[in-house]
A and B are shown apart, each in its own frame.
Chain A
Amino acid sequence: MTSVQNIVERYKNREEKLITMLQDVQKTDGYLSESALREIADRVGVSLSRVFSLATFYKSFSLSPRGRHIVQVCMGTACHVRGGQRILDSLKEELDVETGETTGDGAVTLQEVRCVGCCGLAPVIVRDETFYGKMNQKKSIQMVRALIPERSAR
């Protein structure tokens, strides 16, 4: 049984559970592949465009493979007034990617995230689902360097 089949059956092939299914598939595979979207559509019995519209409307889904590490810079208001944008800019520069892109070696995907709700610790970065608070440009750059083996020596 494929993992997609497993997930779809967990929710008894119910159409209203499509978003939850997509979330689970993304959790397992790291992203939503075309073949996974097709399989979900077939198994639930809806059109591919129906599934595709969900995968593109909701921000938490990715249609391309992501890096081994996901670094999300919080763009909430508290983080913004405490320098979140500057942190994002310096990480873009350090990793040489735009928001949403993955480094060439597949190590890190850089994302912006809407407020993660840890505003008391602003500015915040989420690395692979772990929260880091009271960040600044220097600490953030050190953090991403440590994620890339060949860069940590720099």
Chain B
Amino acid sequence: MKGIRMVSVCFGTECVARGAREVEKELLKLASRNVLKVTRTSCSGNCQAAPVLRIDPEGFLTGPMTVEKVRRWAGSGFDPAVLESWRIPEQDAELPRLADHPFFRHQRLVVLKNRGRIDPDRIEDYMAAEGYDGLARALAMSPGRIIETIKAAGLRGRGGAGFPTGVKWELCRRSRTTPRYLVCNADEGDPGAYMDRSILEGDPHAVIEGMIIGARAIGASRGYVYVRDEYPLAVERIQRAIEAARGFGLLGANILGTDLNFDLEVVRGGGAFVCGEETALMASIEGKVGRPRPRPPYPSEKGLWGRPTNINNVETWANVAPILRNGSAWFASLGTDTSKGTKVFSLVGKVCRSGLVEVPMGIPLRTVVEEIGGGVPDGRKFKAVQTGGPSGGCIPASMADLPVDYEALTQAGAIMGSGGLIVMDETTCMVDLALYFVRFLVEESCGKCTPCRVGLKRMEEMLTAFTLGLGQLEDLKQLESLAKTIQDGSLCGLGQTAPNPVLTALRYFKEEFESHIMDKKCPAGVCKALITLSVDAERCTGCGLCRSVCPVGAVSGSPKSVHEINTERCTRCGACVEQCRFDAIIIQ
């Protein structure tokens, strides 16, 4: 094979988890440098096919890679044609460019522009990709002009609530007290969301650059990056990046020879969802129990140690440098009237191509799910999409033409949220899902406000009763009134938004609640107490796999004859359903 190929090994958490290190080692072992140039790179977003390699100059992705596949490739003398069959995303017809694939075609990369292109541990790579240009421009501007630029761009908080970032900065700047602090909220707690982890892992300098620009605009001297303890790789990468930035004189005293003094510190969270709430987060940085406090005073006035503090989420910070680099008009040209720019989503759940995607604001949810994600797998029906985690809600497939826009999503009862986009199919039970979120919140409520602490517990009991077939119709009314009480009577965002998953489920999937209550049936076949498992005699081949995996010995039958399930003994654990290769287990 003539020529040298550049092989970029993705080193995001998912790829590392699925063996990226071993694949890299094998590549380095088998290929000499005049055949392959092996480098590390940031997450390409195709996390489902981890570990992923990018092959250049052909410019395609391949995965999931294994040591075995590397050996086979080596056997061919590293002929890229061998990798064709493992290309991702899968392609029916020959597409001229990867960028034309539906997974990429609808995406618009601003925050993730360096994805799969740079080694996140090399500040040189970031700089070569226009990194720190935004900072250089900002240093030549007055703080007021930087704030004006961010305001004109129309950037709003990417953590979920969508507060205008420039306005927030201005409030903090105006407070007379010093020192002022900055915080990067990387306590990404919403289950099903991992945008912030991926940004910190894949392009940590983008966050650092945004924060230094923020420090210049706001007049802050110190910043904290508060990262979940569950993200070890992200902690490692941001820490290394901070050291590298210090080495380049981008952090510390007299940044790039100006009078700006600013430094950053990483703080690891302790595993409490409520610490994503800004006042709880600040308490945690101060080494206290993370319990929210009333606002006002807002952090811009009294934040960390009683000083003015400006808190933005990871993705918000990562949007700052591109705005300074390309101008506010450019940014404002992306998106809708009220929601500018792009939004990064983790597209996961029951979807063919799950992964990390960045789309312009205003794109219909349906395009994201059906075109980018390739729709729901196994010929099932697309039922709903959940946004905003435990503070958000489920949007039914019938409303999927809704645009990705702060106001539109709020109106539908969901929220933009931090960017988890979980796709559900007909085998997802909405009562079970509502219960799932309520249980999550019962565990995570800090316990300060009674409506949140006790009210959620009562909600959990009612929903549990529904899943057991023990509910009554009037409970639905009570559930709604309880939801209202929790919303009104809680201090922080956790409690105020806690009933959203239940309320949207009731609003769009009421008939599913009614079947649980009236017919004692779970239409999705999830709630164990309301289903029975049986064998489809037409499909069963008598392979015996179900019999061998049943933990309670409820399956009987001799080889090659139709098997039977003893309903009395069956615990509906689903082990047989999982193993059956012929879809022969019927859930009723």
Q: A residues bordering B, Cβ < 8 Å? A: 14-20, 22-23, 53-54, 57-61, 75-83, 86, 89-90, 93-94, 113-122, 129-133, 136-138
| Cβ contact within 8 Å between B349 and A81 | yes
| Cβ contact within 8 Å between B267 and A117 | no
What residue of chain A has the Cβ atom nearest to residue B16's Cβ?
A: A131
| Complex Cα spacing A81 to B350, Å | 8
| Contact pick for A54, options B267, B285, B289, B424, CB 8 Å | B289
Minimum CB–CB distance for A127 against chain B, Å: 11
| Complex Cα spacing A80 to B289, Å | 29
| Chain B positions 282-316 with a Cβ under 8 Å from a chain A Cβ | 284-290
Interface of A is mostly: helix
Residues of B within 8 A of A116 (CB): 230
| Cβ contact within 8 Å between A137 and B574 | yes
Residues of A within 8 A of B229 (CB): 23, 60
| Cβ contact within 8 Å between A86 and B346 | no
Tell which of B188, B230, B272 has the most Cβ of chain A within 10 Å.
Answer: B230
30 cross-chain CB contacts under 8 A? A15-B287, A23-B229, A23-B268, A58-B272, A59-B270, A59-B271, A59-B272, A60-B270, A61-B270, A78-B191, A78-B354, A78-B422, A81-B428, A82-B350, A83-B574, A86-B578, A90-B573, A94-B551, A114-B189, A115-B194, A118-B17, A118-B194, A119-B420, A120-B348, A121-B14, A121-B18, A122-B348, A122-B349, A131-B16, A137-B578
Q: Is B48 an interface residue, CB under 8 A from the partner?
A: yes
| Complex Cα spacing A80 to B524, Å | 14
| Complex Cα spacing A23 to B271, Å | 11
Minimum CB–CB distance for B377 against chain A, Å: 11
Minimum CB–CB distance for A90 against chain B, Å: 6
| Cβ contact within 8 Å between A117 and B17 | no
A-B pairs with lowest CB-CB distance, top 10 = A120-B47, A58-B270, A131-B17, A117-B194, A77-B192, A60-B271, A59-B271, A115-B191, A76-B191, A16-B287
Known: A16-B285, A57-B290, A130-B17. A119 touches B192 (CB 8 A): yes
| Complex Cα spacing A118 to B422, Å | 13
| Contact pick for B270, options A14, A17, A23, A77, CB 8 Å | A23
Q: Is B13 an interface residue, CB under 8 A from the partner?
A: yes
Chain B 14-32: CB-based contact to A (< 8 A → 1; otherwise 0): 1011100000000000000
| Complex Cα spacing A76 to B574, Å | 19
